[in-house]
Amino acid sequence: SQQGEEDPQALSIQEGENATMNCSYKTSINNLQWYRQNSGRGLVHLILIRSNEREKHSGRLRVTLDTSKKSSSLLITASRAADTASYFCATDRGNAGKSTFGDGTTLTVKP
Amino acid sequence: NAGVTQTPKFQVLKTGQSMTLQCAQDMNHEYMSWYRQDPGMGLRLIHYSVGAGITDQGEVPNGYNVSRSTTEDFPLRLLSAAPSQTSVYFCAAQREGYNEQFFGPGTRLTVL
């Protein structure tokens, strides 16, 4: 079964609003990453947070990690239509190209 | 720098046929992986490699073979295609000591 599970499965918001999506996982991890996938394309890495970090920022992205609850959240502030995509969390227990991906959250940002 | 390239982009096979999905990277990254993505789902790891000559199984390896004779290339072979292998296949490369994976554009495979 998948290590990560995203919530919600789908999210629809207006441009300018904030979007929050959550990821839960089952076993201990070294790090957690978030990826974006535009329709029909490959995944693009957004941000990584290590197991000893609690919060990380990158531009309009804010990621939190709670290892006690085995959960992470991705916040996209001031969303734009171009943010429309699927977002996946991926967990790593090592660093040998063996990430475990969740099923993703599909975000639609309406102009 | 092309990054990670995959060929073909689309492929239709009949049940029982075999084929090879090609993956190449020009970043000199040590690690390479193959994933499949079924509709509405995340990626599942098929096989991975930590360097030339070294491969190992992932979560869903049955029906697939891989080899890694060079750092650049990591082909995925379907031995006898089945409808359950209809999916989008992604190849990824990762630099040793770093966690970011770089993905190719994918191959959309349909098995009739």
Give Dmax over CA atoms of chain B in angstroms: 41
B69 to chain A nearest CA, in Å? 18
For residue B97, the model assigns a pLDDT of: 84
Say if the Cβ atoms of A33 and B44 lie within 8 Å. no
Place of tokens 């697939």: B64
Residues of chain B with pLDDT under 50: none
SS3 content of chain A, % helix, strand, coil (to 5): 5, 55, 40
Please give the share of chain A, as a percent, with pLDDT higher than 90.
Answer: 74
B87 to chain A nearest CA, in Å? 12
Say if the Cβ atoms of B42 and A101 lie within 8 Å. yes
Indicate the pairing of strand B4-7 with strand B19-25: antiparallel
Using one digit for the tens of pLDDT, what is the confidence trace for A31-85?
Answer: 999 999 998 888 999 999 999 999 999 999 999 999 999 999 999 999 999 999 9
Of the residues B43, B59, B96, the best mutation for testing chain A's interface (the one with the most A CB atoms within 10 Å of its CB) is: B43
Distance in Å from the first CA to the final CA of chain A: 36
For residue A94, the model assigns a pLDDT of: 66
Say if the Cβ atoms of A98 and B45 lie within 8 Å. yes
Residues of A in contact with B4 (CB under 8 A): 42
For residue B39, the model assigns a pLDDT of: 85
For residue B77, the model assigns a pLDDT of: 98
Say if the Cβ atoms of B48 and A98 lie within 8 Å. yes
Residue A2 has pLDDT above 60, yes or no: no
Say if the Cβ atoms of A104 and B99 lie within 8 Å. no
Read off the pLDDT band of A97 (50, 70, 90). low
A14 to chain B nearest CA, in Å? 23
Q: What is the mean pLDDT of residues A99-111?
A: 93
Q: Nearest by CB to B32, from A31, A88, A97: name it.
A: A97
Read off the pLDDT band of A1 (50, 70, 90). very low
Q: What are the φ/ψ torsions at residue A83 (nearest 5 degrees)? A: -80, -10
For residue B82, the model assigns a pLDDT of: 97
Q: Nearest by CB to A97, from B40, B59, B101: name it.
A: B101
